[in-house]
Structure 1
């Protein structure tokens, strides 16, 4: 049974220490990375990754100095090991992530860019009074993840704001959590997870010599392009926020998660399609989940502003250790009927077949509006993010897989956003960011109609 959230958070995490880690080699002088329109469209959004490890052979550097009681050496992982040559080499490869934002420069004028000054990433160490199991047992523990992921936003001092923050938290059981805060302007969820998974390769010694990663040229999407005469509906203009890159939301967004087992997924597929699961249909889990959540939210919102949704999916899942970039397709789907009373299989068909790619138009719009506006993507419409193929369990410590891993979003607009991620044991994890006043209604609706609790 879940443990209720505590009234206070002040004693959950303590002894917080902050440092900066820089690459092991200088990138060069006066080098600038120019940001694309799609990057700038994501400037007010942040990806937050959280990995829990419940292994007894992971320990703090202050615990017995890596020695067992009998004097023999244990196979330990420590903070001092984390901040060592493998990390320095890893950051040589990801030199762009070690830069700092410049709101303007001689090279790019008023267009923001990243100064490749090797200023490094933020690394935080903390302690927790809980065990890993106790934390995971707390009700809606992801809503308290700000304790385990460093509070990170760009600005108001942009030249001093790191683009990436890592926080390692030691639990009293000897387990740890690793929290990642990633400025979305750097790249999409595939880029963020590849960043972490590449670190695993360096920690395991699979990269003896660091290599400078090359910027990729992602393959073109297969979805229908938007007419140049149209304007994208997947983004919303907002007044410029200045040097503090935080989304000025109109409502308080809450976070809630649902865990779906493979058996539950099969049952949902059967209920939607009325036929037994086929191997070839396994790729439609995202579409089925999207249809169910879309219909349920439309019902509790009485169909208000739910006929248009945004779908974020990768152009390609094969990044091949490339430079981080925003390669996600931003597309929209429009329903011309009442979503709340629609047959879910009809919505599945819309998601699968009527997906209109707006990525190029977003690029053009941001370039055209340069310096006039900022933008919101997640939550402009009800937004579904397909992360089902993201390798979130690929980040390992001493070849130990996470006990639990998840990603969330910061900067979500008032229409809300839903992430669909890999779950444990071949299931799926749903992370919902919606108006906190809607969460209980949605939980009731999903439990009543779909047995999702």
Structure 2
């Protein structure tokens, strides 16, 4: 029986929270081509705490105002044009603030997490906001705190992807933790978090990127007009299960096995499984989004992901998964610079969608989703999803829930696929790979 969202969450209140002092100085930040390529997408973060009792007065307090001073860019508003940037979209750094939402639920945190496919109900806990049609009044960031009857809370983040990638979004939340604890420090750079990522070969400048889908201009309402209904499903792969998947993919060659890294193996298994249920349609080109090694300045979010593609000329549904692993490691073409150039060239005549333009795999393995703490407590469960997905779908690979001593929690896999494919894929993964 369908669950009424209205009964799950109620007593919703909205407010705006601004920085504690003038910070953006009303300057203009010009959006880069890679930012505008992401304009249809939002990152949605969701954090559950079972053992935290905190009131709104403690949340909306001086540490929050100070934190927003550091992140003044996230408190700005989009301008479709300006004197400084002409007809190019920009962010006016006018300290207009973020949206703050309060809500309540009659369920417990444990009860919510026990619901089947509870992430499909995340819009109850993560405020669903668009950019536009009145750009000057649309916040780029929304935070929703929901109190449960057990005394626990959830914290939902809606983050406009034009601001930055998942590393930027999680750093934003983790820095708030530092302010709440009174000892904030410089955020980790992505280079420190991710020192060994491969450098993919760039696409030849004469080639066109296949990682983008061109759509008609959306004007001032930045919402993907797709009619495809995207479903959400998640499952947790434990460290033991991950080790078993590595053994099945790599066989007895143990020298190749590094179970701390799951992205390539998980991607190969899901790529092959989705190709089977699609009968090899729309699966010979995939997009691979992985983080770059970049320097980040405090309070300056950034779209630092590699947008890469892999193209094959064979039937993916019947190939050895190890061959797909090798392709993901060795044959990704980095389209990031070409995407930047194309969007810069055609931004006045076209808009674009990245996630789901092809079947898309997003590496969030090293995003520190459990680094956001409240009153010294880490989340019981944390996840991220993406809005604005096109009809080929997207798969996110995140850290899994950690246990009490903060050891490896495996991987959380989030499927964002056409609704009519979810059940078939779940069955395929269960029968072929024993993943449930």
TM over 0.5: same fold?
A: yes
Superposed, which structure 2 residues align to 1:10-159 within 5 Å? 10-27=6-23, 29-55=25-51, 58-59=52-53, 77-159=54-136
Given that 1:221 and 1:329 are in contact with CA atoms closer than 8 Å, whether structure 2 keeps it comes out as no
Evaluate the alpha carbon distance shift between residue 320 and residue 266 of structure 1 in structure 2; reply closer, same or farther with a 3 A threshold: farther
Evaluate the alpha carbon distance shift between residue 196 and residue 247 of structure 1 in structure 2; reply closer, same or farther with a 3 A threshold: same
Per-residue CA distance 1:283-309 (angstroms, 9 max, x = gap): 541100000000000011010110000
Distance 1:321 1:297 in 2: 40
Given that 1:381 and 1:415 are in contact with CA atoms closer than 8 Å, whether structure 2 keeps it comes out as yes
Evaluate the alpha carbon distance shift between residue 28 and residue 304 of structure 1 in structure 2; reply closer, same or farther with a 3 A threshold: closer
Per-residue CA distance 1:97-148 (angstroms, 9 max, x = gap): 0000001111111110000110000011100010000000001000001000
Larger radius of gyration between Structure 1 and Structure 2:
1
Distance 1:360 1:318 in 2: 18
Matched, 1:414 2:410: no
Given that 2:306 and 2:335 are in contact with CA atoms closer than 8 Å, whether structure 1 keeps it comes out as yes
Superposed, which structure 2 residues align to 1:36-435 within 5 Å? 36-55=32-51, 58-59=52-53, 77-207=54-184, 222-275=199-252, 281-282=258-259, 284-316=261-293, 319=296, 321=298, 323-425=300-402, 426-435=409-418
Given that 2:213 and 2:352 are in contact with CA atoms closer than 8 Å, whether structure 1 keeps it comes out as yes
Per-residue CA distance 1:73-109 (angstroms, 9 max, x = gap): xxxx321111111111100000000000001111111
Distance 2:357 2:14 in 1: 34
Given that 1:253 and 1:436 are in contact with CA atoms closer than 8 Å, whether structure 2 keeps it comes out as yes
Matched, 1:7 2:39: no
> Gapped runs of 5+ residues in structure 2?
403-408
Q: CA deviation at 1:335?
A: 1.2
Distance 2:39 2:133 in 1: 13
Given that 2:214 and 2:351 are in contact with CA atoms closer than 8 Å, whether structure 1 keeps it comes out as yes
Evaluate the alpha carbon distance shift between residue 283 and residue 300 of structure 1 in structure 2; reply closer, same or farther with a 3 A threshold: same
Distance 2:138 2:26 in 1: 18
> Gapped runs of 5+ residues in structure 1?
60-76
Evaluate the alpha carbon distance shift between residue 116 and residue 138 of structure 1 in structure 2; reply closer, same or farther with a 3 A threshold: same
Distance 1:11 1:130 in 2: 10
Q: How many residues align?
A: 427
Distance 2:200 2:417 in 1: 28
Q: CA deviation at 1:207?
A: 3.4
Larger CA deviation: 153-162 vs 26-35: 26-35
Q: CA deviation at 1:30?
A: 3.9
Secondary structure of the 1:178 match is: strand
Distance 2:313 2:92 in 1: 46
Distance 1:446 1:411 in 2: 25
Secondary structure of the 1:198 match is: helix
Distance 2:68 2:261 in 1: 37
Given that 1:165 and 1:182 are in contact with CA atoms closer than 8 Å, whether structure 2 keeps it comes out as yes
Q: CA deviation at 1:277?
A: 5.0
Evaluate the alpha carbon distance shift between residue 165 and residue 327 of structure 1 in structure 2; reply closer, same or farther with a 3 A threshold: same
**Aligned match of 1:437:** 420
TM-score by length of 1: 0.91
Alignment root-mean-square deviation, CA: 2.2
Given that 2:187 and 2:298 are in contact with CA atoms closer than 8 Å, whether structure 1 keeps it comes out as no
Distance 1:192 1:275 in 2: 39
Distance 2:261 2:207 in 1: 29
